[in-house]
Structure 1
């Protein structure tokens, strides 16, 4: 699907409204791609459409679009005077990048769900569970669990293939960030799984607070690279690289600490035990203070950057949202 018929004219729109308009275009891009694939495959390869339907269901069920929100916020903040200042070609590229990021997230979630044997994702049964149930109901030969897991993995691989198809349309500088993100998240997922298997996983995000680097299994690149793709597409990666990297480090650390406190998905019983021991009673208050300080650090990073005041404020709201302080 080509997004070339949406000229942007937002003289009075707020930053949130500008981003929402582009998020709508991201949804159009995703819907167009998956609908076209389904129509093309349903006659020649009817059994294969179950993979496309699974991807589409997960994409529809996402009500956050975290990586696209991060990328679009960076893109629009760097654009400064609105998308007219950067041109429709760059806007189209930003929409395409965000659709690719959402499909990349879908691939990673499917893989994680299979590895963790998670029963639900985004309010619906995970793909490996639903396909295993279909196998059992139908009385097909073989083992239902293995069929479900194998089918889910293929759906995840297909989502990644679609993401790469979109990313190939990006300008070379943005594509390099995409390629590095894809590599880092794959290696990080393996490091995370291996640490858990070897009883070396540690829910305490102390290293995140002191500064993440490439190879971080906790995935700060999931924040950093989405930001840098957006800034690069706006044509300002050189002058905004340092402040946005510092912003990404602080936001990621706050997000990780929030996850540790809340004990969300991905934190096993040992991590929950550490959390309960470390933050009983008054112990939680210092942790909340640390999150607030990290958010302040993120705001300081963008305060010094050459950005419009409205977009500095929007980056602050994004930091609060990602860190779980407010929406």
Structure 2
């Protein structure tokens, strides 16, 4: 077995215990002393600097696009406004992973690229993310996103407010598809105009193209699974891998490595980090989608159940449920008319079957695996510290 692989924890005859989650949250502290207050404060300040620079890069780009679209027709302003609203939210995890992927590798190759240009380049990941969110919400029929109406819901309401002809829901879906497409187009433009060198841009394009193909393929696999294809826990993990996990951690890290012109061993180390950590990130998302606090997550905790999302939580619950539990899943999961009592019963079933505990255990195991890979990665120390902090932020979060 490869040292970055682990035994599949999903096939055992009974749920495995959660283990020592304190050790996982503490991370590599069983090997190294925790950073002192001054180091921790400096690291937090640097993470905030990257987040702020990414936000500034997005704002500057969107200001230009607002002028361009308004010159075409003033009626296009709501389109750019929607992309702006999507770009304003979020934790900036993908740009952060890409930036620190670059910093980690640039220490060995020499930081030939301008820091500000790299920050503009990695900001393009937020447009890819915005596109995926909009299209995913259309496919799922989601109602909210980040404490506001989902894009297709908002444009359907605009249709009615403006007294337009035709079906408001179809208008909303059509507008959302176009908003998502536009965000994807702008991701390319943001990367191309970032100011990184032609050589770095050419290297980055290879990772960039693979990442965007995977995201789109993953969306289809999600659609297929919702229709009964890719059954069971392994199917759920396949969808998570390609729909979200890869473009959240692995590909951003590799994008940074490509910009830096990193050695192959760095790219391999980033794969060893990115695959388990990206999976843990998505599994945390799935747990929050059912058990999260809506005031913190920005979306209803009922949405995933109402939409019938076929996550690992559901796959494991189906495996362990009795006949009554399977009937409940068949009748209530994905039922748009389901009420609070049915959702509460579904949550209780997920808990009672041990599905939630098993997912939490997998998050713990995959996070620990990733943090071990970070500790062993051939990258500079400040990047290792930053990536370890990001690993915790990505998996031990409430939103």
TM-score higher than 0.5: yes
TM-score (norm 2): 0.68
In the alignment, which residue of structure 2 is the partner of 1:288? 360
Instruction: Measure how far apart 1:205 and its partner are.
Output: 5.8
In the alignment, which residue of structure 2 is the partner of 1:194? 224
Q: 1:66 aligns with which of 86, 93, 118?
A: 93
Q: 2:245 aligns with which of 220, 226, 235?
A: 220
Please list every run of 5 or more consecutive structure 1 residues that lacks an aligned counterpart in the other structure: 1-11
Residues 134 and 14 of structure 1, relative CA distance in 2, 3 Å threshold: same
Structure 2: distance between partners of 1:86 and 1:46 = 43
Residues 287 and 39 of structure 1, relative CA distance in 2, 3 Å threshold: closer
Q: 1:298 aligns with which of 356, 360, 370?
A: 370
In the alignment, which residue of structure 1 is the partner of 2:233? 204
Instruction: Measure how far apart 1:239 and its partner are.
Output: 2.9
Q: 1:111 aligns with which of 124, 135, 139?
A: 135
In the alignment, which residue of structure 1 is the partner of 2:182? 158
- The structure whose RCO (Cα within 8 Å, separation 6+) is larger is 2
Structure 1: distance between partners of 2:277 and 2:389 = 11
Structure 2: distance between partners of 1:304 and 1:270 = 35
Please list every run of 5 or more consecutive structure 2 residues that lacks an aligned counterpart in the other structure: 1-38, 291-302, 318-347
Q: Contact 1:220–1:249 at 8 Å: present in 2 too?
A: yes
Structure 2 residue 49 is matched with structure 1 residue 21: yes
Q: 2:259 aligns with which of 214, 221, 233?
A: 233
Residues 203 and 158 of structure 1, relative CA distance in 2, 3 Å threshold: farther
In the alignment, which residue of structure 2 is the partner of 1:136? 160
In the alignment, which residue of structure 2 is the partner of 1:311? 383
In the alignment, which residue of structure 1 is the partner of 2:299? none
Q: Contact 1:120–1:126 at 8 Å: present in 2 too?
A: yes
TM-score (norm 1): 0.82
* Aligned positions, number: 307
Residues 256 and 126 of structure 1, relative CA distance in 2, 3 Å threshold: closer
Look at both structures and tell me which one has the larger radius of gyration over its CA atoms.
2
Higher mean C-alpha deviation, range 317-326 or range 199-208: 199-208
Instruction: Measure how far apart 1:41 and its partner are.
Output: 2.9
In the alignment, which residue of structure 2 is the partner of 1:39? 67
Q: Contact 1:204–1:260 at 8 Å: present in 2 too?
A: no
In the alignment, which residue of structure 2 is the partner of 1:56? 84
Q: 1:321 aligns with which of 382, 393, 397?
A: 393
